[in-house]
Amino acid sequence: MARLRPRPGILEIEPYVGGKAEVAGIVRAVKLSANESPIGPSPRAIAALQAAAPEAHRYPDGAAERLRRAIGARFDLDPDRIVCGAGSDELIQLLMRAYAGPGDEVLYSAHGFLMYKLSALAVGATPFAAPERALTADVDALLARLSSRTRMVFLANPNNPTGSYLAADELARLHAGLPEDVLLVIDAAYAEYVRRNDYTAGMDLVDRADNVVMTRTFSKLFGLAALRLGWLYAKPPVVDVLHRIRGPFNVGTPAQVAGVAALDDLEHQERARTHNDRWLPWLAQQLSGLGLAVHPSVANFVLVSFGNAGGRSAAAASAWLEQRGIIARAMAAYGLPDCLRLSVGLEDENRAAVAALKEFMA
Ligand SMILES: Cc1ncc(COP(=O)(O)O)c(C=O)c1O
């Protein structure tokens, strides 16, 4: 008897597991597992959400006109070259559906964001991971793995979960090494946090080349992860393709109005950035002081290696933290089983995490 079967590749997918949010028996856990903004959404975004509630029976603006104009004004971009999505996750999936399929290869770096592999498999494409150097994407290794079947290269810059980044010249070198029919997707989800002169989120590359896309999100610095809102910047032919395949109402009104309000609140954005500037280095220093290897990060989280010395494994540390109501992100799914990732939290959350790990290491 014929059996119902999904397309090849689908059953190879281990469903993405988001950062845990709860610990049994703990009323309010300290959630440092999903790189969210610890200071929460802008009050203006909250007010916009509340104001939109009575209109919940109306379909959203399918073109996200006001939102695209607001993004364009804020980042000095042509709104017609912006596409909005239900989180940048949706945009990654749309790009994959549009440009890769069975027989095609999709390339990314070994500890790159997990969604690249999962969404490549979902469209029947073959995912390929290139090795990294010191937990940083390696341009030569990526270029060495190009084949005639490679259709797309994904680079999270900065990368989650390593926190490392490629400088503008390296990014340009990666692009220069790609054939014109290979699409480079620069996932700049954490761009707003980066404080480095040699960093570019990638808009300049999009302007210079036809085969580059930059994706961004409102889930991190803007503190709107629950609303699912992302956007991308691309050349008109790519934009045209995405409009053909996206859902006609893929971004809801709450996300659109909150996004516009959040963009408008520069003070809140600055507060989020200043908070990160203070606590990211603090976390890194404190954890290094405990004898842990902390990988340099330019985003809003740190990757910590436990290295299993004296039986102090990352898994044991994770359990120890959880018993104290603190949730870190386990990294086995990223091929980093001896690491934990900790997002920058509020001051008391950061202090609690460091105090708990200090006890753990003692
Ligand atoms: C590198 C990277 N890209 C994309 C995303 C997805 O973000 P969202 O779908 O919330 O916009 C994340 C989320 O953690 C991420 O770390």
Q: For ligand 1, atom 16, name the residue with the nearest CA.
A: 160
Residues 220 and 158 sit within 8 Å (Cβ to Cβ): no
Is 0.85 topped by the overall pTM? Answer: yes
Q: Whose CA is nearest to atom 12 of ligand 1?
A: 189
Which helix (H) or strand (E) element contains residue 287?
A: helix 266-289
3-state percent breakdown (helix, strand, coil) of the chain, nearest 5:
45, 15, 40
What pLDDT does 8 receive? 83
Q: Ligand 1 pocket: which of 33, 35, 89 to mutate (most atoms <8 Å of CB)? A: 89
pLDDT at 309: 63
pLDDT-flagged residues of the chain (< 50): none
Across-strand partners of 129? 108
Separation of CA 217 and ligand 1 centre (Å):
7
* All residues at 6 or more sequence positions from 361 whose CB lies less than 8 Å from its CB, including other chains: 290, 291, 292, 312
Predicted pLDDT at 1: 77
- How remote is the CA of residue 310 from the centroid of ligand 1, in Å? 35
- Which residues line the pocket of ligand 1, CB cutoff 6 A? 35, 87-89, 113, 156, 160, 187, 189, 217, 219, 225, 230
Distance 176 CA to ligand 1 centre (A): 26
Q: Residue 226 gets which letter from DSSP?
A: G
Contact indicator for 171, 200 with CB cutoff of 8 Å:
yes
